[in-house]
Amino acid sequence: MTDNPTYNPDEFLICAVARLLADSRHVAIGMASPVAGSAALMLREEAKGSPDALRVSMIGGDANNPFTDGGRELFDCAGQGRIDTFFLGGVQIDGQANINLVGTGDYPNMDRRFPGTFGAAYMYFVIPRVILFRPEHSKRVFVPKVDFISAPGTSEEGVYRPGGPYALVTELCVMMFDKEKKRFRLASVNPGHTIEEVQDNTGFDFDIPEAIKTTPEPEPEPERLELLRTNISLEIAKTYPDFAKRVFGVEQAA
């Protein structure tokens, strides 16, 4: 998205992600997810004191991390249906919401290798709302078919799968995933960008509504931006100090 004097690109993405969490009860945030973490913490703070306040579990670091046994406890919680929203990204993502976390090129002799999948496939199967978050929107990322399926976006009929892709958030747009059609539908285009730009930078086909909406800007939400820059910046700095310093100017965790 284009620069705006009243908010920065990360603040825009945080607010865009937050709108997708409005009906969530328990959001789990994996490693290296400061934007998603900031969005969830902001919603939790806004509902502070309410019995319906969002529960947030952040895996990176100790702050806001309720799990004492690492990934095993997280997976157990998800398998019991006690987490309803999670975030995943990928080196590549295709039109069926398959994600590649392993590398690019022909497996096993790949051009580039990445850390790998860990529990992504499991979480993709058991958590009802998985939001795919990948700021870079290019044909390098959004490909016709991923080189390696680390976690499948859809499953064959008869496979027990309560979880799966819910939405996709990028620097250009927000898309929703249609589980019946097994494809993405454009929900809104971010300010300063066009539908043509989204199409030109996406390697797969997606559904386009007759009326194309613009992703809301944070400008009408001054209280939300103020909350982000004060309470949330200090809270997210406990887990992601470099992010907090770059985005909010916070020098160190509280």
For the segment 62-95, what is each residue's pLDDT rounded down to a tens digit?
999 999 887 889 999 999 999 999 999 999 999 9
Q: Confidence class of residue 254 from pLDDT cuts 50, 70 and 90? A: very low
Residue given tokens 């509504």 in the structure block: 209
219/201: higher pLDDT: 201
**pTM of the predicted protein model:** 0.94
Residue given tokens 């700095």 in the structure block: 237
What the block records as the tokens of 180 is 């019946």
Q: DSSP secondary-structure letter at 60?
A: S
Burial 102-125 (b: 16+ CB within 10 A, else e): bbbeeeeeeeeeeeebebbbbbbb
Amino acid at 55: R
Residue ranges and CATH numbers for the domains of the chain are: 9-248 (3.40.1080.10)
Strand pairing report for 112-113 and 173-178:
unpaired
Is the CB of residue 161 less than 8 Å from the CB of residue 97? no
